[in-house]
Structure 1
């Protein structure tokens, strides 16, 4: 695996459709030296189904025929935990350079992943070289809060939030991922917002006290997070929607955005303590040094935009704290009426 790659791709649906194959190819082709050596299908979300082996084979066939990669299938069985080779499965996930997980039940997957500590591995893996591609049920697990779709839509349980993996901490806010955002299968009833409908989804959001960001991904659409470069890109037939308590904005196919601009558009101050420190391996590699330098510049700009929000909100304590942090790292900032600039001290 090329160590430059650090991609999280979230699909709204269509993750194994002919149309969305070009999304995978776009990621692969944008890194010409990329070699995928250890692709893995994590089939946990649907492995409780009687046809799980058939589904796993179909996903394998898709990647082999459309993308010329042959992934291993990592399987867990909740009804026979003694038969699970935990060390083998954990090693497969850790060593994977392309990790896919898709449809099924998000709560089934979460419960099993947490039981054998796969959640911790995924929380670490998100900052390591590789490509993670999650869709549908697996996509739901990625946020701070997870929508228990089966329980609400199929079983009629009163809407509630499940604790998710919280893999998008790099955005600096609590998150909710909503695939199938524009679903219309209900015809005579609203099945948007991942089948539960707009009204129930809004009531669930009203129960949240802290700031949050929900990311709604339309069907046959992908949101591609380039974590090394702190940028995202939208590909597909639909849109990706970014919503908070007060605002929502949408991006179309081909649109891109810096991570910091997401909350800037929402007028939300990120939680700096919630953003993990990014890891960079092979620091002696000139390419990695260049990437690290670029990311440092991007993160300084992110801090300055956060400071701008703080100043406009008259949050002087936070504004001063950001200045102090930068100055302690040898960065001086200069405020003018037009803009704020920065430079490294000698």
Structure 2
């Protein structure tokens, strides 16, 4: 089993609140061998603000006081950073084993990260040992599509999608991250769905032609993705919501879910070409192995679930291909009206 720790934690809000400190502690305590040596605060999303230094210091103080960490504050400081600044921040991110980024403007951050190619460094971190903890604006950047909240909510620009980092491509489909999902700050107007409201959010979804999953994370709630185990867990005061074109389901505080079950529940056929090679290399066992451990069985079950989704969507070509792959490895498939079962050939 892969003993490396690859955790992506996405906060709906409250990432520096006293209440959510226990979320960080829970992650740390779950991995007693985890020793954070190079924590980094990436303050790009809010560094354009006049009080960016004050905000950075407050985040630093939180991690020092609540979690006994002393993170490096990585800042590009300007719209056209010098090469030395880019080199320094790139080195800091590469060395980090705990990378935090939070509030501000998602489009400002994306623009600067792409210009400096820091976006590629962030993407590479997902398959390296350590923890990524993103919230609010930074959380918005993680999906295939990003909500430009400032432009829509503050400037009144016609709703549109910005191209995101696509950091959750390990789920096998296009994704949208929606922090502040159940926000009620507007009181007399709808500020749910990260302040833009449900009506505008639904209209934006209607513009998407391909399959997608949006992940809505309530206030003071975190969705913790364990990349190694292909499993997520919810912690906090609210829920995490998984929506598609056709349906939505939610999971509660303390509940867990396997990655493949997200698409299975939505009847979306995974795009296997979208899942990075690193994901298969690090987290999928060899189906030809003679070992009869549960790990091998889990991998077969994942393929069976993908095949069931394909069959329910009348994707017979993919269904037949998966059957052929399994049968070539000595796995016998039996389809009934209720489900698909399998057994090893003698």
**Contact (CA 8 Å) 1:38, 1:96: kept in 2 or not?**
yes
Residues in 2 aligned to 1:209 and 1:281: alpha-carbon distance in whole angstroms: 30
Residues in 2 aligned to 1:233 and 1:147: alpha-carbon distance in whole angstroms: 24
Distance 1:211 1:52, change over 3 A: same
Residue-by-residue CA offset, 1:213-254 (whole Å, 9 max, x unaligned): 000000000000001001000000011000000100011100
* Counterpart for residue 208 of structure 1: 208
SS in 2 for 1:324: helix
* Counterpart for residue 169 of structure 1: 169
* Counterpart for residue 286 of structure 1: none
* Counterpart for residue 150 of structure 1: 150
Residues in 1 aligned to 2:227 and 2:342: alpha-carbon distance in whole angstroms: 24
Residues in 1 aligned to 2:13 and 2:25: alpha-carbon distance in whole angstroms: 17
**Contact (CA 8 Å) 1:240, 1:251: kept in 2 or not?**
yes
* Counterpart for residue 334 of structure 1: 333
Question: Is 1:315 paired with 2:277?
Answer: no
Q: TM-score, normalised by structure 1?
A: 0.91
Residues in 2 aligned to 1:303 and 1:56: alpha-carbon distance in whole angstroms: 45
**Contact (CA 8 Å) 1:174, 1:213: kept in 2 or not?**
yes
| Greater mean alpha carbon deviation, residues 265-274 or residues 81-90 | 81-90
Residue-by-residue CA offset, 1:20-56 (whole Å, 9 max, x unaligned): 0000000000011110111100000000011111111
| Greater mean alpha carbon deviation, residues 181-190 or residues 269-278 | 269-278
Gaps of 5+ in 1: 284-292
Gaps of 5+ in 2: 284-292
Question: Is 1:141 paired with 2:141?
Answer: yes
Residues in 2 aligned to 1:342 and 1:51: alpha-carbon distance in whole angstroms: 62
Distance 1:8 1:331, change over 3 A: farther
The alignment yields a C-alpha RMSD, in angstroms, of 2.2
**Contact (CA 8 Å) 1:230, 1:295: kept in 2 or not?**
no
| Greater mean alpha carbon deviation, residues 76-85 or residues 19-28 | 76-85
Distance 1:112 1:185, change over 3 A: same
Q: In the TM superposition, what is the alpha-carbon distance from 1:327 to its structure 2 partner? A: 4.8
Question: Is 1:194 paired with 2:194?
Answer: yes
Residues in 2 aligned to 1:248 and 1:61: alpha-carbon distance in whole angstroms: 38
